[in-house]
Amino acid sequence: MRVRPAFPVILAAAALASAALSQQPTRHQQILQLVDQHAAHFSATSKTIWDYAEVGYQEDKSSALLQRELQAAGFRVQAGVADEPTAFVATFGQGEPIIGILGEFDALPGLSQAALPDRTPVAADAPGHGCGHNLLGSGAALAAVALKEYMEQNRISGTLRYFGTPAEEGGDGKIYMIRAGLFRDVDVVLHWHPSSENGVQNGGMLAINGARFLFHGVAAHAALAPDRGRSALDSVMLMGTGLEFLREHIPSNSRIHYTITNGGAAPNVVPDTAELYLYARNPSLTVLTGIWERILKISQGAALMTETTLDVKELSGDANLLPNDALAKLAQRNLEEVGGFRYTAEEKRFAEALQKSLPPGGAGPLDSTALVKPLRSPDPNAAAASTDVGDVSWNVPTIGFETATFVPGVVAHTWQATASAGMSIGQKGMIVAAKALAATGADLFSNRQLVLDAKADFRRQLEGKAYQSVIPPGQKPLLNYRKK
């Protein structure tokens, strides 16, 4: 009996195996599918946090909700870290690399707004998510849960950490977490922020220092015995005058803004206390340090001229974002692969109605939500805000995304941003961010060379620079800073 060769059978089996392999999802397809599976749940989570609208260091319910979600998904949660009751770290896995994802969840005072296209506060003078941090924290958690499941399904080693960071809006929550050593062993940190467009945030933002300058004088009757008085208000006004003269002699891309929070009690009483609350900003942490030294000299000079004394208190400060070109290229590829989104007819009607409230020429094209901006180097003269993510970027290789959660033309810290963040437009942008974060995290876990490249670029970016925060080493988190 003649035995037929097995070679054709082997070829047929190999062909079937190859066909099956070709039908298996790629790494990114798999991770994006996992994000989609959890998207509706975390969209609802974002809406719940939007309803809570808790300001910095008071985000008890928002923080607790995210902790429960991550714990239910299999993360180990350490709560109340860095002397911050609402800060936490959620961890999955073990070993290297260690990849972190940042989450924020604080609201802004006075920006309460219903998810409607006209000015309709939910409650008068109440907080609202005018910076979209309800989306930020929930979207980052969505990415973390999807990435954790991807690691399990593919038996990928390494450690994934979600950092629940409170009080980004002026409370410097991440700086105290850095000082507590929570980022010391992290290899790469990923983050994102709501915006009106889609892009990679490679560096940029403004370094910021802030403080309250409290002058102490001597009270006296302003008509009967003014010579006995030493006016703290005079000190504040002289400091303000000095600051205005200073503007001519600092880089033009600097910002100094201040308010008088205490100017005295009555015109006929020489004020024995007065306070000026000030922020100073510059695109460079190093340049800002020099400007801040001059501001301090002006405050001391004002006290000297008026024979008053000075307390500089509640010091705060954030660094600018340090770029990482290696991570930026990876992030840009992934965001372009994910792409943006388009409005439904209902969302388009909402957006068009809301854009009527914007200044003339302020509205952007609605189809821009489907586009991704090209990768660019940060412009030191561009208008920008500040964030304590900057301090993280000076300690760990860091890259971030911005995605179109706000109606085009809407800027953060407005009621229009609160409205966008509370409905499907914001939630769609959040899902885009979660996909970009998760895909980038999957790449970093699967290709250790990407982590090494990020670290090499981090060292290059730090050459000749030194990280120094204006916050005194022994200062504790200012948990009541919004109650002043």
C-alpha closest to that of 387 among 212, 190, 205: 205
Domain 27-205+320-462 has CATH 3.50.50.60: no
> How far is C-alpha 108 from the chain's CA centre?
13
What's the topology of domain 207-316? Alpha-Beta Plaits (3.30.70)
> How far is C-alpha 367 from the chain's CA centre?
25
**Domain spans, the chain:** 27-205+320-462, 207-316
Mind listing the pLDDT tens digit of every residue in the chain (484 residues)? 444 444 444 334 444 334 433 445 798 999 999 999 999 999 999 999 999 999 999 999 999 999 999 999 999 999 999 999 999 999 999 999 999 999 999 999 999 999 999 999 999 999 999 999 999 999 999 999 999 999 999 999 999 999 999 999 999 999 999 999 999 999 999 999 999 999 999 998 999 999 999 999 999 999 999 999 999 999 999 999 999 999 999 999 999 999 999 999 999 999 999 999 999 999 999 999 999 999 999 999 999 999 999 999 999 999 999 999 999 999 999 999 999 999 999 999 999 999 999 999 999 999 999 999 999 888 888 878 999 999 999 999 999 999 999 999 999 999 999 999 999 999 999 999 999 999 999 999 999 999 999 999 999 999 999 999 999 999 999 998 765 4
What pTM was computed for the model?
A: 0.91
